[in-house]
Amino acid sequence: MRDYEHLSQEQRYRLYTLKKTGQGQTTIAKAVAVHKSTISREFKRNQGERGYRLKQAHGKAITRPSDQVNPRIKESD
């Protein structure tokens, strides 16, 4: 399994400001130094009713349990 790091609050701030200026997902990904699919997942997971908002996104990411991963194949007893 690959290790990964969560986006920092600084990265989310940069992502937020670039999105507000109308930049595309690929441009944002290059500026934040992550893959463009990471940006897509960030928007999907942390967007509220009023769109992507920095404080709300960071709060959701922090409070989301990190152990939500469900194995695809369950071991039998």
Boundaries of every domain in the chain: 9-63
pTM score: 0.68
Structure confidence at residue 67 (pLDDT)? 54
- The first and second tokens of residue 33, run together, are 């130094």
Structure confidence at residue 55 (pLDDT)? 79
Kindly indicate the confidence band of residue 76, based on its pLDDT and cuts at 50, 70 and 90: low
Phi, psi (deg, nearest 5) at residue 53: -125, 135
Structure confidence at residue 69 (pLDDT)? 62
The C-alpha atoms of residue 31 and residue 13 are separated, in whole angstroms, by 12
Q: What is the pLDDT of residues 9-65, one digit of tens each?
A: 899 899 989 999 999 999 999 999 999 999 998 888 888 788 888 778 877 777 776
Q: Which residue has the tokens 């999105």?
A: 19
Structure confidence at residue 14 (pLDDT)? 93
The C-alpha atoms of residue 32 and residue 62 are separated, in whole angstroms, by 19
